[in-house]
Structure formats: C-alpha cells, structure tokens
Amino acid sequence: MKQQDAYKLLAAFMILIMIIVPVAYVITSPRSDSESQTTGQQSSQQDKYNPEFWTIDQPFYSITDALNMTPYGVVTADFVDIDGMTPQMTQGILQGSPGLDSLIKEADFIYKSNTTKLYYSRLNDGNNQSFLLLSTMYPPRNDFNYIVNPETYYNHVILIRQEQKLSGLINLMGAPVVLAPQGTALEVLGIITSLNKTTTAYDQYEGLLGKVEAAPYQTVSSNVTFAKQFYMGIRTTKGNYERTTAYMNVNSSTLKKLNGLKANSTKNGFEQYDLTGTGNYTYVRIVSPDLFSVLNEEIY
C-alpha cells in the first residue's frame, strides 16, 4: 500500500455514512404552541451549543489516545492534529491525500464548525463492520438535527442524528466528539467509563506504537500486503520534517528495498535515515528540511 493508497481508505467514511440503512427511531419532541417567541429564541441558541451535552473529557493528543478509546478490531485508523501542523505541512499532506481532506471538510459540514483534530477508524470484528469518528472543533457547536435519548449513560447524553445520511448515528459531545453507529458508540462509552482495564484497539497496536513519538499526523493499518501491521507518523523537529514508519513482520522484499533506500539516502537529500529492528518490528526514521522529500519517499 503506497501512501496515497493509505489515504484512500479514509474516503470509506463518506461512502459508509451514505449507505448506512437508517435506524427507525419514532420519537418526536413537538414544541408547545404556548411557548413565547423569547423562549423559542433561547431554545434555538441552546440547540447550537448546549453545555449540558458536552460531557466527554478524554486525552486526545495522538493516535495512541484515540485507540485507547476505540473498541478492539481496528483495521485502519488515522489521526490528524490540524492545529499542530505548520501551514506548509497541512497543505502538503492534504494536497497529497484528497481522502483526508474530504473527511475534514465532511466533519466541518456535519458540525457547522472548524475541525481542529480528527481521528477516523474502520473496524471489523468478524462479520460486523463499523467506524468511529472522533474530533474536536472550534467553536464548539451542536447545531444539527438530533433527538435526545431519554436515558443517559453514566451521565453522558446520547444524541441521535436525524439527517438523512446520518440518521440513527450516535453523537456524544465533548472532547473529543464521538460519531459512530449505536453499538460502537456505546462500546466507546463503556471503555471511557470503566473503572477496570478494558481491552481496546490500542492492545492491537501496542507493540507497533510503543517506540514511536506522537505526531500531528499518524496512521496505522493491519490491511497491508508488505507487513502484518504498519504505522506512519509525520512531524516537525528542530526545523526539519521527520517521518517514522514502523512494520510488524515486514516481508523480506520490502526490508531489502528499505535497506537500498537507506544506502542512497544522502544522495536523496536526507539528513538522517535510520533503519533499526527489534524482535518482529522494523523502524525507519527519515529527516529532511524538505517536506516533499519526506512525503514522497517510498514506504515499501
């Protein structure tokens, strides 16, 4: 899977929410005819941002944080901290990854706000496929069509989306905001409210992520042909751009190619090109003052 192929997986979110069969919730909340105009205006403002809904409060600074909130069974996952990237880095990554760019725009649209961080994962547990979208936004808003589930979950308010392409999906508001099908959303709530150690998607990728630094763009996948698992992260460090890739059980032809790329790294303009291995894991760290050299260097 080349870099553009990894980004292509992100587009699955838009496809998924367009084809999900709407869940039939027959719940209405008609307004009383006796409500005054003033009350109606106040209610309208509250609909745009109701602080009573914003109860989620979890660390959300890296893909590790996000996976620790995600149910087991992640096939691919991507994390991006838009505010944590330089303008050049944001432009370079989004221009080279139309799927990621579209996903951010989709989040902006469905929340009528500006996305600052975003995580999207595709889950597959046997025959059950799902997704999870976590995000933060500014300004915070819940300006969309929803009904409130009459029952809370550990004091967390559950909003049921009513728009046609999102009908039946669950929103949990806070930091981060959760959007997912009902089963997945309730699993997330179960994870973050549990007082005991809970199995999460991080357990799947702990070995891969244990020796990498947090970065404003990160991706993991177990759906590649050249390794059992794959990770990529891009960040800035000391005025340069750094990309780290990690492989679990990388195949021999890919490892041979990576060694060849390392041998030519100085000629290709890289200040550092480190290739190390420990147990079943292989790590490649490249550093260059040129962002596009880092973005375009082959990963397998």
Instruction: Report the pLDDT averaged over residues 17-41.
Output: 34
What are residue 216's DSSP bridge partners?
none
Per mean pLDDT, which range of 5-14, 17-26, 184-193 is the poorest? 17-26
Which pLDDT belongs to residue 97?
79
What are residue 148's DSSP bridge partners?
159
Which pLDDT belongs to residue 94?
87
Selection from 175, 136, 169 nearest residue 53 by Cα: 175
Which pLDDT belongs to residue 128?
85
C-alpha neighbours within 13 Å on the C-beta side of residue 105 = 9
Which pLDDT belongs to residue 14?
43
Q: What are the chain's domains?
A: 3-18+50-193 (no CATH), 224-296 (3.30.200)
Residue 165 identity: K
Q: Which backbone phi and psi does 46 adopt, to 5 degrees?
A: -65, -35
- Six-digit token pair at 11? 């587009």
Residue 12 identity: A
- pLDDT band of residue 184 (cuts 50, 70, 90) is very high
Contact 232, 219 (CB under 8 A): yes
Which pLDDT belongs to residue 42?
40
Residue 84 identity: G
Per mean pLDDT, which range of 16-20, 144-148, 168-172, 238-242 is the poorest? 16-20
Contact 244, 212 (CB under 8 A): yes
Going across the sheet that includes 159-161, the strands are 146-148, 159-161, 170-172, 177-180, 128-138, 114-125, 74-81, 217-221, 229-237, 240-248, 281-288, 272-278
| CA atoms 291, 8, 78, 162: torsion sign | positive
Q: Which backbone phi and psi does 284 adopt, to 5 degrees?
A: -125, 125
pTM of the predicted model as reported, rounded to 2 decimal places: 0.85
Peptide bond before residue 176 is cis, with ω within 30 degrees of 0: yes
